[in-house]
């Protein structure tokens, strides 16, 4: 017999039919009610067992976490909060779960505890909801670009260039031997190169995406990115996914328009398609907030916050205006930022970004026209000679979610900039070619996918929105 998903059973078109479903036991109450979940939806299907019809051995194996196949008749439920249930006729135990050993019990586990169990935490409602939202967001991203004439392009993971110049790269090494011998220190000897050439894991697919935009017009990458982040923040991972659109013939204004429309659209998709999961996450968050002092609670509940972002314009402010605002601001009781903004040209710290978004403007902010000195080499120099056509999008509770720019399309200006920064032309000869042959105004941005998932789910730590987080303490799984 065809097995149905829990979601299909709860949609209600199968009333009084014989059905089969596979899933994992959430709870088994009074030797009678199994709450079964298969990941297809947040809700469980209640399976009503008449224990007299089943042998002790089968009943003994029905514990939280066990995998079952259940067959029976789908009926309307008398139970509160459930619409349908199965009157169980047959149970097959795929695999039991020893209640003494299985770590994911029906009680509430802390997020810290669950991080240690990254392979099992998706069996909790919280993580299943987050990962369904994450999946929906990735779908919405591909859909948005497809509907707007973009091509999906795959940037290389192993690369010779450091697009950001931040020196946060992981070096690629090759094992010297298929059966490596240990050296005197007892370690494996590695060759310090990639078949004779120095290479790294990519920190961004942008430079390669520029090459593709200069032929296909509008392209985007959506792939893993690696940064040897040496700090331990709740916003940085060593391996994260980045969405990087790149568009020929787009200036910075068109770039900002696209970024704003894109973010609103993909969050809108989740609002429409993940209502149950969002409601669950919102409730979880409200419970958590109750334990905090009033002043630290957020003003809007999750869904309201997401709607607010999709319905209101992002505030666009130049770096120079932002500096003026920050200089004249009293952010807290001490009336001071930890890092004072004394001079034009200073890089903004996250406390400044968050002040602008959360206290001053109270909405997402796009900061643009940054000092050239604090931004990467490839950004388009403005006519003033000291600012570049860069933009960062800052989000409430998150800080920077997007970094983008109009790219320098003029060969001579780009070469001067690279010379200033001691970037050898030989390293980026191919990138310079793009300015020699058919160069044009073009722009793009990078959006950290996990930061978008953080915002959309209302979670507080980036380690909780990626299946297997890679951070300095965490590469076990």
Q: Among Mg ion, ligand ATP, none, what binds residue 448 when CB lies within 5 to 8 Å by partner kind?
A: ligand ATP
364 contributes a contact to Mg ion by CB under 5 A: no
Using CA atoms, how far residue 292 sits from 181, 286, 288, 351, in Å, is 55, 10, 7, 21
What does the alpha-carbon distance between residue 472 and residue 20 come to, in Å, rounded to a whole number?
A: 45
- Give the shortest CB-46-to-ligand ATP separation in angstroms: 40
Looking at the chain, the number of H-run helices and the number of E-run strands are 13, 18
Which one of the spans 10-18, 197-205, 327-335, 397-405 is the region binding Mg ion (CB under 5 A)?
397-405
- Give the shortest CB-28-to-Mg ion separation in angstroms: 48
Q: Which residues contact 368 (CB under 8 A, 6 or more apart)?
A: 252, 256, 316, 317, 318, 319, 389, 390, 391, 392
Q: Among ligand ATP, Mg ion, none, what binds residue 164 when CB lies within 5 to 8 Å by partner kind?
A: ligand ATP
**How many residues are recorded in the chain?**
477
DSSP H/E element including 219: strand 218-226
421-450 residues near ligand ATP, rule: CB under 6 A: 446-448, 450
Which one of the spans 25-33, 112-120, 233-241, 328-336 is the region binding ligand ATP (CB under 6 A)?
233-241
Which one of the spans 90-98, 179-187, 400-408, 418-426 is the region binding ligand ATP (CB under 6 A)?
400-408
Which one of the spans 285-293, 337-345, 398-406, 410-418 is the region binding ligand ATP (CB under 6 A)?
398-406
- Give the shortest CB-282-to-ligand ATP separation in angstroms: 23
Site map 240..269 versus ligand ATP, x via CB under 6 A: x-x---------------------------
403 contributes a contact to ligand ATP by CB under 6 A: yes
- Give the shortest CB-468-to-ligand ATP separation in angstroms: 14
E strands of 96-206, at which residues? 151-152, 158-159, 174-175, 190-191, 200-201
Residue with smaller CB distance to ligand ATP, 124 or 225: 225
- Give the shortest CB-188-to-Mg ion separation in angstroms: 31
229 contributes a contact to ligand ATP by CB under 6 A: yes
Please say whether the beta carbons of 346 and 320 come within 8 A: no
Query: Which residue from 25, 201, 401, 423 is in contact with ligand ATP, where contact means CB under 6 A?
Result: 401
366 contributes a contact to ligand ATP by CB under 6 A: no
In terms of Cα–Cα distance, which of 407, 395, 323 is closest to 358? Answer: 395
454 contributes a contact to ligand ATP by CB under 6 A: no
Which one of the spans 71-79, 175-183, 227-235, 246-254 is the region binding ligand ATP (CB under 6 A)?
227-235
Please say whether the beta carbons of 266 and 146 come within 8 A: no
Handedness of CA 427, 432, 433, 434 (dihedral sign): positive
Coil, strand or helix: which one is 244?
Answer: strand
Coil, strand or helix: which one is 91?
Answer: strand
164 contributes a contact to ligand ATP by CB under 6 A: yes
403-422 residues near Mg ion, rule: CB under 5 A: 403
Neighbours of 113 (CB within 10 A): 12
451 contributes a contact to ligand ATP by CB under 6 A: yes
Q: Are strands 218-226 and 239-248 parallel, antiparallel or unpaired?
A: antiparallel
Coil, strand or helix: which one is 427?
Answer: helix
Angle between helices 252-273 and 449-457 (to 10 degrees): 50
Task: Give contact residues for Mg ion (rule: CB under 5 A).
Answer: 400, 403
Task: Give contact residues for ligand ATP (rule: CB under 6 A).
Answer: 164, 227, 229, 235-237, 240, 242, 400-403, 446-448, 450-451
């Amino acid at each position: 017999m065809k097995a149905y998903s829990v979601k299909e059973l709860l949609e209600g078109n199968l009333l009084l039919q014989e059905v089969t479903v596979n899933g994992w036991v959430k709870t088994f109450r009074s030797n009678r009610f199994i709450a079964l979940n298969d990941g297809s939806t947040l809700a469980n299907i209640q399976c009503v067992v008449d224990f007299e019809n089943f042998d002790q051995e089968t009943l003994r194996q029905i514990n939280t976490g066990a995998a079952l196949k259940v067959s029976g008749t789908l009926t309307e439920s008398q139970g509160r909060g459930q619409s349908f249930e199965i009157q169980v006729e047959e149970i097959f135990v795929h695999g039991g779960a020893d209640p003494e050993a299985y770590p994911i019990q029906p009680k509430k586990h802390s997020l810290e505890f669950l991080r240690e169990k990254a392979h099992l935490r998706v069996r909790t409602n919280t993580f299943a909801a987050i990962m369904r939202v994450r999946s929906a967001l990735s779908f919405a991203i591909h859909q948005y670009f497809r509907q707007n004439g973009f091509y999906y392009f795959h940037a290389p993971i192993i690369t010779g260039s450091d697009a950001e110049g931040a020196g946060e790269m992981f070096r690629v090494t090759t094992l010297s031997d298929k059966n490596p011998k240990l050296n005197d220190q007892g370690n494996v000897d590695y060759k310090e190169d990639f078949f004779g050439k120095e290479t790294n894991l990519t920190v961004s697919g942008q430079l390669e995406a520029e090459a593709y935009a200069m032929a296909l017009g509008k392209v985007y990458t959506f792939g893993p990115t690696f940064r040897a982040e040496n700090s331990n923040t709740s916003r940085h991972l060593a391996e994260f996914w980045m969405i990087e659109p790149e568009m020929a013939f787009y200036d910075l204004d068109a770039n900002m328009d696209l970024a704003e429309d894109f973010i609103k659209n993909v969050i809108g998709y989740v609002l429409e398609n993940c209502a149950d999961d969002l409601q669950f996450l919102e409730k979880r968050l409200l419970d958590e907030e109750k334990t905090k002092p009033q002043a630290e609670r957020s003003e809007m509940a999750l869904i309201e916050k997401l709607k607010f972002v999709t319905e209101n314009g992002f505030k666009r402010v130049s770096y120079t205006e932002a500096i003026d605002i920050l200089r004249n601001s009293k952010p807290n009781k001490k009336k001071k930022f930890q890092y004072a903004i004394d001079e034009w040209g200073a890089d903004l710290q996250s406390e400044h970004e968050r002040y602008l978004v959360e206290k001053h403007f109270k909405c997402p902010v796009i900061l643009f026209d940054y000092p050239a000195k604090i931004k990467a080499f490839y950004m388009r120099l403005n006519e003033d000679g000291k600012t570049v056509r860069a933009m960062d999008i800052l989000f409430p509770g998150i800080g920077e979610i997007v970094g983008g720019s109009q790219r320098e399309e003029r060969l001579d200006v780009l070469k001067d900039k690279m010379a200033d920064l001691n970037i050898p032309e030989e390293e980026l000869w191919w990138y310079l070619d793009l300015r020699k042959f058919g160069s044009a105004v073009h722009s793009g941005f990078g959006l950290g996918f996990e930061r978008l998932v953080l915002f959309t789910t209302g979670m507080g730590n980036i380690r909780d929105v990626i299946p297997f987080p890679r951070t300095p303490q965490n590469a076990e799984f």
